[in-house]
Amino acid sequence: MQPSGHNYGGEPLERTIVKGVNRRSSPAVDAGLHRLSISANKSLLWFAVAGAMAMRSGVSRRAAARGLVALGVASAANGSLKALLPFRPRPQQLPAFLPWAPEYGGSSLPSGHSAAAAAFATGVTLVSPALGAAVIPVAAGVAYSRVHIGAHWPSDVVVGTVIGIGSAVLTRTWPQDSSLRQ
């Protein structure tokens, strides 16, 4: 944090983490994580997963719906918080951390991709732990990819993940009818 109160990027520990992540990469890993991250833009990955899950009736369809409800709440909460917090540049906006050309604008804190991933995965898990076990590693991969490609600082991902998990827990009893409840 600079004396003016504006956060101009990650703290020293976060800078070290981001540098370490980018130093220990390979072209194949970089490309794969970049594709994973891009697939989660505007939550398209989660809508596709929910669509596939909804093709089966019963618990799979309820889990998909619960994940999407949680994702919607997390997206609203994340956007509201992002608007209230001071601007924070993304690692890729700083010359020392530029693995690719910047493709994301806006403030880095909190990570919307991480919030959506955690919300969807937690929402699914609350309905079906077995389906959650399949979704959680993908969600974790999306969250990690955000640091790997320089779109977010580690703390941005942590805050986004907390927003996502909190949103899913908050919505665990919505709607009041039994259609989405276990």
Residue, of 24 and 108, whose pLDDT is higher: 108
Evaluated on CA atoms 28, 30, 32, 34, the torsion sign reads: negative
pLDDT at 176: 55
Tokens of 29: 């890993």
- Give the global pTM: 0.86
Q: How far is CA 154 from the centre of its chain?
A: 12
Local confidence band at 20 (pLDDT 50, 70, 90 cut-offs) = confident
In this structure, of 43-52, 128-137, 147-156, the range with the lowest mean pLDDT score is 147-156
Q: Which residues contact 53 (CB under 8 A, 6 or more apart)?
A: 60, 61, 63, 64, 67, 124, 131
In this structure, of 38-42, 58-62, 78-82, 91-95, the range with the lowest mean pLDDT score is 91-95
Q: What is the tens place of the pLDDT at every residue in 94-113?
A: 655 555 555 667 888 999 99
Q: Indicate the domain borders of the chain.
A: 34-170
Local confidence band at 3 (pLDDT 50, 70, 90 cut-offs) = very low
Q: Is the pLDDT of residue 55 over 90?
A: yes
Q: What CA–CA distance (Å, rounded) separates 80 from 115?
A: 12
How large is the C-alpha radius of gyration of the chain? 17
